[in-house]
Structure 1
Amino acid sequence: MSQQDDHADIPVLPPLVPAATILLGLALQFLWPIGFLPGDSGNWFGWLLLATALSFAGSAAWEMKSARTHVHAFKPATSLVTGGAFAFSRNPIYLAMAAAVVAIAALANSLWFLLLAGPTALALQKIAIEPEERYLERKFGSEYLNYKVRVRRWL
């Protein structure tokens, strides 16, 4: 694998996917507000889920930093990280991004965000996860394939 090819072939920065979702959800909620929760009952759930998602993503980033590999998808992976959050999900940072959209749905009491959460997860899978998996299979071979057998993609 040449140095130029030593990264996942991802077309856009993955955080742009949930960012676009949030912008679209805000626009839809502004134009056609649709709530799905009574009163402010989603606040505690939304804050709890958002805190959990951020903690999970932070833990995963810390594991990657500790392993001296890149968090940035456009840079080479120097090692396969399988501990910490990666023991529960092969994609804890992307899982956290999708969970953050659900958290915002609860916080904003917006059915739009909730409806956009599934397509956001699917977009992350197609745009980022699948290309990353192909790259990691090429780079780490059977070590990554064995990891895929042990750990689920999302949860």
Structure 2
Amino acid sequence: MVKRIIYPPMWLVFGVCAIFACNEFYPGPRFTSHGSQAIGGVLLLAGLALLVVAGGLFKRAGTDLIPFRTVSALVTTGVYRFSRNPMYLGMAAILLGVAVTVGAATALLVPPLFMVIVEWRYIRPEEDLLRNLFPEEYPAYCARVRRWI
């Protein structure tokens, strides 16, 4: 298996840096207002909440939060009933919240780019791993719950 040195939270940090770089150097059209800042703040807080809740469910199940480490349980309860990847979804919501808050149109490109990177670098390989570890439960779970939302 490929060793992954850069973990998903680092991609979140890179994304936030990219958003601020877009805002500073290549903002494109601006859409700043009190309303957009409020919406951005709500998205950011919702993403943080999703990360905390999803991470708590992993901890409670006794499985590792770091991708491709010790996987001891398939978590399918709580927010995992609605998304197979709520932690990644939370990170994407944080990036979208930051992008909306800064109000630079080019910053809105970062969250979808993050989602593509995470899907190909982490989610797809994680799905293969889970399919091998839980050959009956995981395909049934995939049939019930979508990858993102």
TM-score after normalising by structure 2: 0.91
Greater per-residue helix proportion: 2
4+ long deviations beyond 4 Å:
none
The alignment's C-alpha RMSD in Å is 1.6
Aligned residues: 148
Determine whether 1:83 maps to 2:83: no
Q: Which residue of 2 aligns with 1:67?
A: 61
Q: 2:132 aligns with which of 133, 138, 151?
A: 138
Q: 2:49 aligns with which of 55, 65, 69?
A: 55
Q: Which residue of 2 aligns with 1:30?
A: 24
Q: Aligned-pair distance for 1:20?
A: 1.4
> Alignment partner of 2:8: what SS?
coil
Is there any run of 5+ residues in structure 2 with no aligned partner, and where?
Answer: none
Q: Which residue of 2 aligns with 1:129?
A: 123
Q: Deviations over 1:91-113 (max 9, x none)?
A: 00000111111100111112122
CA shift in 2, pair 1:103/1:129, >3 Å: same
Q: Give the % identical residues.
A: 30
Give the whole-Å Cα distance in 1 for the aligned partners of 2:56 and 2:16. Answer: 26
Q: 2:97 aligns with which of 92, 103, 114?
A: 103
Is there any run of 5+ residues in structure 1 with no aligned partner, and where?
Answer: none
Give the whole-Å Cα distance in 1 for the aligned partners of 2:137 and 2:102. Answer: 42
> Alignment partner of 1:131: what SS?
helix
